[in-house]
A and B are shown apart, each in its own frame.
Chain A
Amino acid sequence: MDALRTAATGMAAQQTRVDVIANNIANMSTTAYASRSVVFADLIYRQEVAPGAISSTTGTVVPTGIQLGLGVQTAAVSMDIAQGALRQTGNDLDLAIEGRGFFEITLPSGEQAFTRDGKFEISPEGEMVTTAGFPLADGITIPNDARQIEISSDGEVFAYFDDAVGGQSIGALTLTSFVNAKGLEALGGNLYRETQASGQPITGQPGIEGLGFVSQGYLEESGVDVVSEISDLIEAQRGYELNSKVLSAADEMYASATRIR
């Protein structure tokens, strides 16, 4: 009855793919969303006749043998952390990262989290916080009498006041990179957390050691390519249908086998 189970693994795999595509499309307008893709791998094989088995007394060998596959599995749902398009917003506290890196955020629990979503606001205490209200780990506090905030591409934050001509430095932003950014754990809310797979966070000044630059007044768009997602969706849907047809064909064959009297 292997064909039934094999077809069922195929249906489950395509279902996973549709789930991932649905999430990608739902996040097509989410700032700095990294699109996900599913990687499949074949399951183990039942070796009926191993290739290379001896098939005669003179030592000839079976060139290919019979190995019956048992279906498919999801090997990984991989995150594609690539540079998304930058959209100009003109807001002083909208920041986009051009290149590698994440902003470090302090969660209410005191834990670190990382994000590429650079939509920052000012808290009642004057701190630079995410839209969820979590402060930037760099601890930038904006003076309440500041007229304008300027952030240079290497992360220096300058405040301009009415009574002074030049800007005054009020801190610097840092960026954090990971050896394997795909290994970060997504927490939702555009936040990621360090894991065993991602490696240690490497914090540095924007623009050096492979880190990207900061662009003030821009936001990074979602990395979802809707056209390719839709073509993937069609493929997944047809794949699901095909597997279900195999399921019913195998079922009919077994049904007719039970008619043997």
Chain B
Amino acid sequence: MDSSIATLSRQSGLLEATQLIANNIANASTVGYKSKGTIFSEYVASAGSGNPSLSMGYLTAQNTDFTTGALRKTDNTFDLAIDGEGFFKINTPEGLRLTRAGAFQLDADGMIVDSFGNPVVDEGGSAVEIPPDAVTVSFAKDGTMSVDGEIFGNIGVFRPTGEVERVGNNYWIATDGDVAVEEPNLIQGFLEQSNVSPVAEFAKLITTQRLFDAGQTLTEQEHDRLSNLIAAIRQQG
């Protein structure tokens, strides 16, 4: 029965891998989305004394591809992209969140907010407000914001010091805090596209599907082998 158990652990992992690919493909048009991959590892279980141990593959972790996605020109004043490392910081009602999705706009009070209406913060952590009669607002590479040609403030770009956790809505949480990036590379009038490669994801999907089928066939053949064995034993008896 060992082979069926090993296969089963692999297959449940493959189902999760499919879920992951589905999520990547669903987010192939999400601004600032970072593609995820799966890591399978070997899990060695003892199969009783005297027996060789049983090796199983299971899904242990995921890795995130942090490469910068394609930058798409939009020409909107408040569309910002970060080329390279760093995140924008958003002050949400649930706390501070990081995001790579720079599709910002102004709210009714002139604050720079994201698509969910939560304010974007500057290097010091406070919201950025634009005077209502501002004509041109421009952002320099290092995040410095100028209004009508005069330096007015900045947009903060931060780097998490530890791990980041995804929480949806394009938000991430830096579980171990974050620090300001020394030399950010901010680009105004562009949006960072999702870095999901649909072709690679699709190839992965096909592979996953075939591996799943292979496991399935193995399980079926194992079933046949065992039932034949049982039938043979019964005839002997």
Q: Which residues does A use to contact B, with CB under 8 Å?
A: 2-4, 6-7, 9-10, 13-14, 17, 37, 39-45, 47-52, 62-73, 75-76, 78, 80, 82, 99-100, 177, 179-180, 182-183, 196-200, 202, 209-210, 235-236, 238-239, 242-243, 245-246, 249-250, 252-253, 256-257, 259-261
* Chain B, 1-50, CB within 8 A of any chain A CB: 11, 14-16, 18-23, 25-31, 33, 36
Complex A-B: 12 CB contacts under 8 Å? A3-B22, A41-B101, A42-B170, A49-B61, A68-B16, A69-B36, A179-B132, A180-B106, A198-B108, A202-B133, A246-B22, A257-B212
User: Given the known A-B contacts A39-B103, A65-B61, A199-B110, are A6 and B19 also in contact in the complex, defined by CB atoms under 8 Å?
Assistant: yes
Q: In the bound complex, do residue B219 and residue A260 qualify as a contact, i.e. CB atoms below 8 Å apart?
A: yes
Q: B105 is contacted by which of A4, A78, A235, A253 (Cβ under 8 Å)?
A: A78
**Once the chains are docked, how many angstroms separate the CA of A260 from the CA of B27?**
32
- The stretch that binds A, out of B81-89, B158-166, B178-186, B229-237, is B158-166
Main secondary structure of the interface of B (DSSP, over half): mixed
Tell me the minimal C-beta distance from A209 to chain B in angstroms.
Answer: 4
Which residues of B are at the interface with A, using a C-beta cutoff of 8 A?
11, 14-16, 18-23, 25-31, 33, 36, 59-64, 74-76, 101, 103, 105-110, 115-117, 130, 132-135, 162-170, 175-176, 198, 201-202, 205-206, 209, 212-213, 216, 219-220, 223
The reply to whether B29 and A235 contact each other, CB–CB distance below 8 Å, is: yes
Tell whether, in the assembled complex, residue B163 and residue A52 are in contact, meaning their CB atoms are under 8 Å apart. Answer: yes
**B110 to chain A: which residues have CB within 8 Å?**
179-180, 199
Q: Which of A70, A198, A242, A261 has the most CB of B within 10 A?
A: A242
